[in-house]
Amino acid sequence: MTAYDYDLFVIGGGSGGVRAARVAAALGKRVAIAEEYRFGGTCVIRGCVPKKLLVYASQFPEHFEDAAGYGWTVPKADFDWPTLIANKDREIERLEGIYKRNVEGAGAETFHARAELVDRHTVRLAGENRTVTAETILIATGGRPAPHPALPGHEHCITSNEAFHLAQLPKAIVIEGGGYIAVEFANIFHGLGVETTLVYRGAEILSRFDMDLRRTLHETMERKGIRILCHAVSEKVERRPDGRLDVTVSGGEVLVTDQMMLAIGRVPNTEALGLEAAGVRTAKTGAIEVDDYSRSNVDNIWAIGDVTNRVQLTPVAIHEAMCFVETAFKGNPVAPDHDTIATAVFSQPEIGTVGLSEDEAAKRYPELEIYRASFRPMRNTLSGRDEKMLMKLVVDAATRKVLGAHVLGPDAGEMAQLLGIPLKAGVTKDDFDRTMAVHPTAAEEFVTMYKPSYVVRDGRRVD
């Protein structure tokens, strides 16, 4: 028995914090977890989960259109935003309850309070006017949308946080950014009938993905009616007398809109956490600096998830939580493995990707074989939808190892999850070739691309 109130105190009840608290408590450790807002954190409350529900909602107009080719007559459909938001909120509340019950069920104590460090073993619970002590402290406070103070009129803008709770669906929206959130929300709003403009400072949206997919997604989104301005930034946002907004973009064009949404990245939640008092070091970005095992410079204080700004993805935070528990409580040091993480962008069409893009691989390997297929998925034949699916394998010519697998099209996220396993295991293209197809599926294309579409030698494409 230690002299501390708890073996582990977790600050932050999101995906990472809840997982660590639950698993440590199940080991018989005396655990407490504090959450100042709602259990579930960004992913459950105002991120991945509600976003996916909005994605589903926004896909219905295309499903209704596609139905005609299959013989259905669909009467004119009406959409009610408040109904969607209320139903979404009910589901989020249900999940929030499950998160809290699971952690309590494992034996952890929960506090609905903001927690701040007083020193390396002491935590103050704001509002409860008391302090508690713990032998080990885990910080899992996540992040929040990056503000944009340099943009005149930024106070008129919303972020993804507010997008989930707008009182009414805007007629028009401008979205700043070209990453996951900007692209996903552009498709959501467009699907729901909102006139949507994306303003992105770079040459092509989704800078971290394979160029082929980026270009094809860009073209498809434009064909659907989303306006995408690349090499552009918003320069000012002004409220008009009629309540709408004027957004002036570089080049001088003024976009008249109802909402302006900033999706320019996320920043770690480390302000006023008492990190200085406890002696915890942070990077320039505000992120807590940790070693390979998620331990900060103060040896009893650890940090996982977005607050460490390593890879801002829910499954990564959960994996880091599991590694933390192994290391700190099971005497089995395990460093989280951040290599070859499968990921999806829930754009329309979706992107699913794992491993290296062609351009990244070309920088690291002298010769690549690229297997590429672009085709109309069967579902789009009778519906007449003019949207192609794109699949691509990036292979190291010397070893035949598959370095990257990329999909653009329906269910790409589901495919990326499964492709993540063989790529993590280090499979070769020959393993793909030996695998029997599942027919008729779109995914079968991955095991039937026998001949390289082209070769990339010393960074140059050779047809």
Q: Which residues contact ligand NDP (rule: CB under 6 A)?
A: 176-182, 184, 200-202, 207, 233, 263-266, 312-313, 343-346
Beta-bridge partners for 408: 351, 390
The nearer residue to ligand NDP, 344 or 408, going by C-beta atoms, is 344
CB of 234 to ligand NDP, least distance (A): 8
- How many Å from the N-terminal Cα to the C-terminal Cα in the chain? 69
Report, in Å, the least distance between residue 39 CB and ligand NDP: 20
Our CB check for ligand NDP shows the closer of 182 and 325 to be 182
**Least CB distance to ligand NDP at residue 211 (A):** 13
Q: Specify the residue, 265 or 422, whose C-beta has the smaller distance to ligand NDP.
A: 265
Q: How far is the CB of 404 from ligand NDP (least distance, A)?
A: 17
Host H or E run for residue 94 = helix 81-105
CA 199 to chain centre: 19
Q: Which of 154, 165, 319, 439 is catalytic?
A: 439
Of the pair 187, 220, the CB lying nearest ligand NDP is at 187
319 half-sphere exposure, CB direction, 13 A CA radius = 15
Residues 6+ positions from 9 with CB-CB distance below 8 Å: 31, 32, 33, 34, 115, 123, 132, 134, 136, 137, 138
| Residue (of 7, 62, 14) closest to 34 by Cα position | 14
Give min distance, CB of 241 to ligand NDP, in A: 28
Q: Is 439 a catalytic residue?
A: yes
Cα separation, 357 vs 142, in Å, equals: 28
**Whether the bond into 440 is cis, omega within 30 of 0:** yes
Whichever of 327 and 353 has its CB closer to ligand NDP, that residue is 353
Q: What is the DSSP letter of 277?
A: H
The least CB distance from residue 266 to ligand NDP, in Å, is: 4
Give the Cα-Cα-Cα angle 339, 340, 344 (nearest 5 degrees).
Answer: 130
- Answer yes or no: are the C-beta atoms of 358 and 344 closer than 8 Å: no
With left for phi above 0 and alpha for psi between -120 and 50, is residue 101 left, alpha or beta? alpha
Tell me how far apart the alpha carbons of residues 130 and 226 are, in angstroms, rounded to a whole number: 52
Closer by beta carbon to ligand NDP, 184 or else 212: 184
Residue closest to ligand NDP, measured at CB = 179
Main-chain phi, psi angles of 399, to 5 degrees: -110, -10
Active-site residues, by number, are 439
